[in-house]
Amino acid sequence: MKKNIQALAIATGLTLVAASTTVQAAEKVRPILLKTPIAFGSHLPALGSPIKWVEQQLPLISAGSVRMKIYEPGKLVAPLEILDAVSSGKVNSGYATAGYWAGKMPAASLFSAIPFGPEAPEFMAWLYYGNGLNLYQKMYDDAGYKVHVEPCALISPETSGWFKKEINDVSDLQGLNMRFFGLGGEVMQKLGVSTSLISGGEIFGALEKGAIDATEFSQPAIDQLLGFYKIAKHNYFPGWHQQATLFELLINNKTWDKMSESQQAQVSATCKASITNSIAESEFIQFEAMIKNQEERGVVMHTWSNEMLDTFNDAWGDVVIEQSQDATFDTVYKDLSQFRKNYAIWAERAFIPRT
């Protein structure tokens, strides 16, 4: 009997210790809710849908330890105010593309979309195995923003514009009013185009009213949802200005630091999975939209001549010189350029040219 009582006491003690340890662990790893305003409607495939996918996957991957609630554009924070809102703690996270902050940090555009820049696999290689991700976070830190950045979606090339009239040479561009994003817009300005950055929901109305003569926005499957083909019948390829476009999840530093290592890893892994998922989605949905544009909607699809591509590229060289007056832009662009020079040794021999 005495031995049984002693055994029961020991077992009870061990149970209490285990329970105490479990409680302490639960207290240490507190559930996190990321309230995330987004810059693109979640109904837009490959553009807004990736963050919806992340919202759905995070609680599954983390067993409920990390959850996300997304807020459609403008519902909680205006798209162009997301960075400041996350940094100040007004919200604890946000989803956008770094190119929106180019007015604050010129280098931000290089973590969004780069004219004549890398395609998606090369971009990923630089980010995850080159210096890209370190330079990305350093840019925010050096600028005084209190955010942790996670690349969280990546899409393949865009079209390079919807025009009301055919563009035969550079003279046809001069004097046009055009919606254009990022560094590509800087290139177009060099060629006599007046550019403006209009949000996706406002573009159709601007085209219809004649406030702009042309626009670029995204990929065919996305652009069709905004109805550009109804007004601008000339669609141009390739998307020299955005061969790949990166999107980011920003998390307030205090929120990030409160996460356990496991929670941080769950967020990072889910975002990396979203990179893969978004590339696959964006590659899958384009051809059907292009066929419909050509066969049912009367859209004429054009391919830029080599002469026009050379013209765009020359103007891009001038933009790089100007933007490189900013020290961070210069550092990031030189690092990326060296990586691309090395990568070319592989790329020029490894892939079969399309004929």
Q: Using one digit for the tens of pLDDT, what is the confidence trace for 185-213?
A: 999 999 999 999 888 889 999 999 999 99
Residue 58 burial by Cβ neighbours in a 10 Å radius (0-12, 13-18, 19+): buried
Options 1.20.272.10, 1.20.1090.10, 3.40.50.300, 3.40.190.10; CATH for 162-241+285-323 is 3.40.190.10
pLDDT band at 28 (very low <50, low <70, confident <90, very high): low
Quick check: 304 pLDDT over 60? yes
What pLDDT does residue 290 have? Answer: 97
Residues of the chain with CATH 3.40.190.10: 162-241+285-323
Report residue 11 as tokens: 């077992």
Provide the pLDDT for residue 5. 42
Q: What is the mean pLDDT of residues 246-254?
A: 98
Q: Report DSSP state, residue 26.
A: H
304, 237 Cβ separation under 8 angstroms: yes
Please name which of 29, 30, 73, 32 lies closest in space to residue 251, comparing C-alpha atoms: 32
Q: Decide: 161 and 178 in contact? Cβ < 8 Å.
A: yes
151 SS3 class: strand
pLDDT tens per residue, range 122-175: 999 999 999 999 999 999 999 999 999 999 999 999 999 999 999 999 999 999
275 vs 1, which has greater pLDDT?
275
Question: Cα dist. 319→21, 117, 188, 189, 314 in Å?
Answer: 59, 14, 10, 10, 9
194 with 178: CB under 8 angstroms?
yes
- Give the integer Cα–Cα distance in Å for 274 and 55: 11
Whole-number pLDDT of residue 25 = 46
Query: pLDDT at position 16, please?
Result: 37
Residue pLDDT, tens place only, 281-291: 999 999 999 99
**Residue of 160, 172, 162 whose CA lies nearest to 214:** 162
* Buried/exposed code over 153-172 (b: 16+ C-beta within 10 A; e: otherwise): bbbbbbbbbbbeeebeeeee
**238 has pLDDT over 80:** yes
Q: What is the pTM of this model?
A: 0.90
Average pLDDT rounded to a whole number, residues 295-306: 97
> Which band of pLDDT confidence, cut at 50, 70 and 90, is reported for residue 353?
confident
Say which DSSP state 38 is in.
Answer: B
Residues of the chain with CATH 3.40.190.170: 31-156+243-284
Strand pairing class (214-215; 162-163) = antiparallel
Of the candidate CATH numbers 3.40.50.300, 2.30.40.10, 3.40.50.720, 3.40.190.170, the domain formed by 31-156+243-284 belongs to 3.40.190.170
Average pLDDT of the chain, as a whole number: 92
Concatenating the DSSP letter of every residue in 173-198 gives TTT-EEE--HHHHHHHHHTT-EEE--
